[in-house]
Amino acid sequence: MNAFMQDKVISGFSKMDKQAKIEWLRQYFLDDDPAVQEQLASFWHQDEDLQRVLDGFSENTLSNFPMPFGIAPNFKINGEMYAIPMVIEESSVVAAAASAAKFWLPLGGFHTEVVDTVKLGQLHFRWAGSTARWESLFADLEKMLRLETTHLTANMEKRGGGIREIKWLRKPEIGPDYYQLLVSFQTCDSMGANFINSILEQFGASLKQWAASAPELSDEERRLEIIMAILSNYTPECVVKAWVECEIADMEKTLRTGDDVRHFCHKFETAVNIARHDPYRAVTHNKGIFNGIDAVVLATANDFRAIEACGHAYAARDGQYRSLSSCTITEDHFRFELEIPLALGTVGGLTKLHPLAKLSLQILGQPSANELMQVIAATGLAQNFGALRSLVTTGIQAGHMKMHLQNILIHLGATPAQMEEAKAYFEEHTVSFTAVREFLDQYNTVQ
Ligand code: MEV
C-alpha cells in the first residue's frame, strides 16, 4: 500500500467522537471541503436526546439521512379503513398505491388472509457418528435441548409462542459428517430474530457439552463441531395472501381509461401471465410489488433486507423465478392475488424505539404482527395493480414524468409561481431536464 493510501487507513475510528470522525473524513476523503461539517450538522435532530437514540441504531454515525414519510389513504382491508404510512424515495409509488386503493374502494377493497406464521432457524454442525446412531439418540437429545432453553422460551410461551418442531437433517452434498437441526418457532408479535438466535446458540452449546460428556458415546462420537447457529430468513410458511376481486362489469364504476373493461382485464391478466413465465419481466414485476412492501416495512422499522431476500427466494420456489402475484378471469369474474412470505414484528427491534415507526404503528391502529402482514400484503398488491394498470393503458412515463418534473423544478430552484406555470405547460410537452431549464429561462426573460 502506498503512503497516500496508508493515510486513509485508520484504527479506533469508532472510538472517536462525531466531530473528530467528520474532521477525519473531511481531511482524507472530501478534499478539506469546509462545508461538510455544516452540511452534516444541518440534518442532526435538534432534540439531543432523540439524536442520541438515532445514533444508537447504528455505528460511526455522522448524521441522519432523511427519506420522505408519506401516507397512502383510502385502503379498505377486510372491511376496515386504513391510512398506510410509506417511507420511499421513488416518485409516484405512494401516488400509485393511493390511486389503486381508491380504485378498489367501491369494489369491496382488499381481502387478506394469513396462511401461517412459522419462523425457522438452523443449527449447522458436524458429527462423526452414523445416521442410525443419531436417530436412536435424538428423542432424548430433543428433550435435553428443550429443557436447557426453558429460561429463554418461558416468556414467549406465556404469549402463546415458543419452539415448535425440531427436525434433524443430513446433507451429504455439504459434507459426509454434516448435520443440521431445522427448528420451527412461533414468535407472536415479534419478528423473533434475537429469540431464535439465542435459542439456537444455546442448542449449540448444549450439544457440544453433551458430546463432550455423555457416557454412552464412543470416542469417535465425541467429535462434534458446531459450524454456526442462525435463523433462516427464508420463511415459506410465514405467508399471507391479499386479493381483490369483482365482476368485470362492476369495474366500469372505477376504470377511467376510456378502455373497454373486458379488454382491460384480459390485457392485465396477460401482463401478469408474462411475469409468471418470463423471469426478466418477473423481476421488474416483483420489484413493483416490493416498492409498496418495502415502503411500509421501512415505515414500521421492520427488516426490509430480510423481507426482500425471502420474497425473492419464494418467487423462485419451484425452480424458476416467477411473479409473486397471479390473475385469473373465470366467467367474467376478475381476481388478482398476491401470496408472499412476510416475517414481521410489531414489538421489539426498533418498532417502538424509532419515533416515526411508533407513529406508523399508531396510524395503523397498533396492529398485531398478523395484522401488519395483511396490511403490507395489501399495499404490495395495490402497488402491483397500480403499476400494471398504467403499463397496460397509458404507460408509466406519463405519471413518472409528472413527478420527475417536480424534482427537476426543485433542483433548478423554481419558485411556486414558476412551478404552477411549468406544470400547466408540460401537460402538453415532453419533460426533460433541458426542456425544463429552457422553459424557466424563457419564463424569466418574459417576466
Ligand atoms: C418501477 O419502480 C416499478 C415498475 O417497473 C413495476 C412494474 O414494471 O411492474 C413500474
pLDDT along the chain (447 residues), means of 10: 81 96 96 95 97 96 97 98 97 94 97 98 97 97 98 97 98 96 97 97 98 95 97 98 96 77 96 98 98 98 98 98 98 97 94 94 98 98 97 84 86 92 90 92 81
Which atom, in ligand 1's list, is nearest to the CA of 384? 9
Distance CA 60, CA 95 (A): 35
Buried b (16+ CB within 10 A) or exposed e, 115-133: eebbbbbbbbbebbbeeeb
Which atom, in ligand 1's list, is nearest to the CA of 291? 2
Distance CA 307, CA 314 (A): 10
User: Would the CB of 291 count as within 6 Å of ligand 1?
Assistant: yes
What is residue 403's predicted lDDT score, i.e. its pLDDT?
77
User: Would the CB of 400 count as within 6 Å of ligand 1?
Assistant: no
User: Would the CB of 284 count as within 6 Å of ligand 1?
Assistant: yes
Domain boundary among 232, 249, 266: 232
Is residue 34 domain-shared with residue 125, that is, in the same domain? Answer: no
Residue 61 lies in a domain: no
Is residue 216 domain-shared with residue 246, that is, in the same domain? Answer: no
What is residue 257's predicted lDDT score, i.e. its pLDDT?
59
User: Would the CB of 285 count as within 6 Å of ligand 1?
Assistant: yes
Is residue 241 domain-shared with residue 348, that is, in the same domain? Answer: yes
User: Would the CB of 403 count as within 6 Å of ligand 1?
Assistant: no
pTM for the structure as a whole:
0.91
Is residue 282 domain-shared with residue 375, that is, in the same domain? Answer: yes
What is residue 169's predicted lDDT score, i.e. its pLDDT?
98
Angle of helix 369-392 relative to helix 261-277, nearest 10 degrees? Answer: 110
* Residue numbers of the domain that contains 136: 119-232
Alpha helices in 7-130 (DSSP H): 18-29, 36-41, 48-56, 93-104
Is residue 334 domain-shared with residue 244, that is, in the same domain? Answer: yes
Three-class SS state of 100: helix
Query: In CATH, what number is assigned to the domain containing residue 218?
Result: 3.30.70.420
Distance 180 CA to ligand 1 centre (A): 39
Distances (CA, A) of 38 to 22, 33, 42: 10, 10, 6
What is residue 418's predicted lDDT score, i.e. its pLDDT?
92
Domain boundary among 188, 203, 232: 232
Residue 351 lies in a domain: yes
What is residue 352's predicted lDDT score, i.e. its pLDDT?
87
Residue positions annotated with a catalytic role: 90, 287, 303, 400
Helix (H) or strand (E) holding 446: helix 433-446
Per this entry, what is the length of the chain? 447
Q: Which amino acid is at 303?
A: D
Is residue 314 domain-shared with residue 359, that is, in the same domain? Answer: yes
Is residue 334 domain-shared with residue 387, that is, in the same domain? Answer: yes
What is residue 252's predicted lDDT score, i.e. its pLDDT?
87
What does the DSSP 8-state code read for residue 309? H
Residue 62 lies in a domain: no
Helix (H) or strand (E) holding 196: helix 193-213
What does the DSSP 8-state code read for residue 188? T
Residue 64 lies in a domain: no
Residue 63 lies in a domain: no
Residue 172 lies in a domain: yes
Ligand 1: residue of 291, 383, 393 to mutate (most ligand atoms within 8 A of CB) is 291
Quick one: which of 113, 84, 120 has its CA closest to 313?
120
Is residue 296 domain-shared with residue 159, that is, in the same domain? Answer: no
Is residue 216 domain-shared with residue 298, that is, in the same domain? Answer: no
Torsion angle (degrees, nearest 10) of CA 219, 222, 227, 231: 150
What is residue 3's predicted lDDT score, i.e. its pLDDT?
72
Helix (H) or strand (E) holding 135: helix 131-147
Is residue 442 domain-shared with residue 307, that is, in the same domain? Answer: no
Which atom, in ligand 1's list, is nearest to the CA of 288? 6
Which atom, in ligand 1's list, is nearest to the CA of 90? 2
Looking at the structure of the chain, the number of domains it has is 4
Distance CA 363, CA 84 (A): 8
Residue 91 lies in a domain: yes
Is residue 271 domain-shared with residue 164, that is, in the same domain? Answer: no
**Sheet order of strands, 178-186 included:** 162-170, 178-186, 119-127, 224-232
List the residue whose alpha carbon is closest to atom 3 of ligand 1. Answer: 288
Distance CA 56, CA 53 (A): 5
Residue 60 lies in a domain: no
Query: In CATH, what number is assigned to the domain containing residue 289?
Result: 3.90.770.10
Is residue 86 domain-shared with residue 130, that is, in the same domain? Answer: no
User: Would the CB of 396 count as within 6 Å of ligand 1?
Assistant: yes
